[in-house]
Structure 1
């Protein structure tokens, strides 16, 4: 039996690798484990980028799409080689404790507040804090990811900025699921929810949800790539991680990110930021 490269990881990693078709005997040095947020997967961006990276470099990427919080936890344990995440506070904590190196800006989009067309809480057009206050006042159902993801972290910040603590309220429900699945639950229950724009646009035709609050500066959603520090975790594939991070910030890939989604959705799902100041 092949010895797992990271024996401390849970069944999730083993199942993900098996589903991805990891071949017995494949050299570990040619495998790059990417831990990332579900939005990069659900939006279809990784389906566009990873085959190109594999063709160009000969590496095989094994993607573990979880919330940013879980992805960062994998980085802290050395259970991934490289992270593509969007939870700035947690990212900075990872860097401060010495488990990450070379944190680089990749792209951004924004968060949007979604809800049913009928908008029972009357939040349409309000700023984020005011919209959440209206939802709470009307006891309208709000679906939270509740999964320690970057989106969940941002949502908690927004509730705090609105002066509210919704946990424990009957109208505030948590799915514990990724973005795409949470959107499906919110659509089924005609609830409000917070989403990144890219995932929403990719799945919009399957949903009955509308954008009700957007454009607030508090809704900015920034993605970074971080290599896991080999000094702390010597088993990581350092060359593979660096190759993937360099690939994401390369001019060609940044152009792809700039154009991704325009043909299908009429607007890009992400905006390239490599090389720009924070």
Structure 2
């Protein structure tokens, strides 16, 4: 298994070179914020305003929090609320703030061989899926999506047999592509699903269950644990992304006219 510090180094080999004197800010985050194109839209105004260059490491929420725990990044933007709360309670992070939200969807081939289309009860749908012959592709990477999916199966009290339950260990975009190739279902955040919809042909069969609510939070790494981090830059990004300007920028991200993330900070 690759250590978090090694992972951070490997991923940052692809980071663009810094200009002389340009301060860097290291952000670990989920594949959904990166795959959807949100960060490419959201971060440039912050960089122009502050002079910081944000280096993004996009992995599952579990790995993103692990990188932050080890001090390999300065802050983290994830969607795994229970894990975020533990991260702060254990002293690894400070000042968690709500940023935005969207929801999860159950994406499947439009043929709907499990006959679950149109439902709004994710647990009932998964029980029906488990008793069908349809395969299911899991992220299997301890991401926020993976943790949520596992919680649904636990509530359902059943899961497809191993021959029909595939643990990919991949990011959301890759899992959606894999599900399309295998004519399988998968749980996805809405933003990545929308980004990959045309290339996969998958359809949303279940949505709207309150249990599918998907909040995102941003947390600075605790400088008392890792004195070498860019604590000032982390605070600046947190303040900016939760400011009226940052929240408006999130709301304005509408590829193909569809809003994929909704700001969480109340006016």
TM over 0.5: yes
User: Deviation of residue 185 (structure 1)?
Assistant: 0.6
Which consecutive aligned stretches of 4+ in structure 1 deviate over 3 angstroms post-superposition? 8-11
Structure 2 distance, partners of 1:30, 1:149, is 29
Instruction: Say how many residue pairs are matched.
Output: 264
- Conserved? CA contact 2:139–2:169, under 8 Å: yes
- The residue that corresponds to 2:17 in the other structure is 22
Per the alignment, residue 45 of structure 1 pairs with 38
Task: State whether residues 93 and 220 of structure 2, in contact with CA within 8 Å, keep that contact through their aligned partners in structure 1.
Answer: yes
Deviation at 1:116, TM superposition (A): 0.2
Could you list the per-position Cα deviations for residues 113-165 of structure 1 after superposition, in whole angstroms to 9, with x for gaps in the alignment? 01001011111122100110111001310000000000000001111111124
Distance change >3 Å, CA 153–CA 26, structure 1 → 2: farther
Map Cα deviations across residues 190-236 of structure 1 (whole Å, 9 max, x no partner): 11000000111122111110000000001000000000010111111
Q: 1:255-275: per-residue Cα shift (whole Å, max 9, x none)?
A: 1211211xx333200110024
* Superposed CA RMSD: 1.6
Match of 2:133 in 1: 139
1:266 corresponds to 2:257? yes
Q: State which of 168, 185, 191 in structure 1 corresponds to 2:184.
A: 191
Query: Paired residue for 1:154, among 141, 148, 167?
Result: 148
Cα distance in 2 for partners of 1:26, 1:200 equals 39
The 2-side partners of 1:137 and 1:9 are apart by 38
Aligned with 1:176 (options 169, 178, 182): 169
Name the CA distance, whole Å, in 2 between partners of 1:116 and 1:48.
Answer: 30
Choose which of 6, 13, 26 in structure 1 pairs with 2:8. Answer: 13
- TM-score w.r.t. length of structure 2: 0.94
Q: Determine helix, strand or coil for the equivalent of 1:226.
A: strand
Q: What are structure 1's unaligned runs of at least 5 residues?
A: 1-7
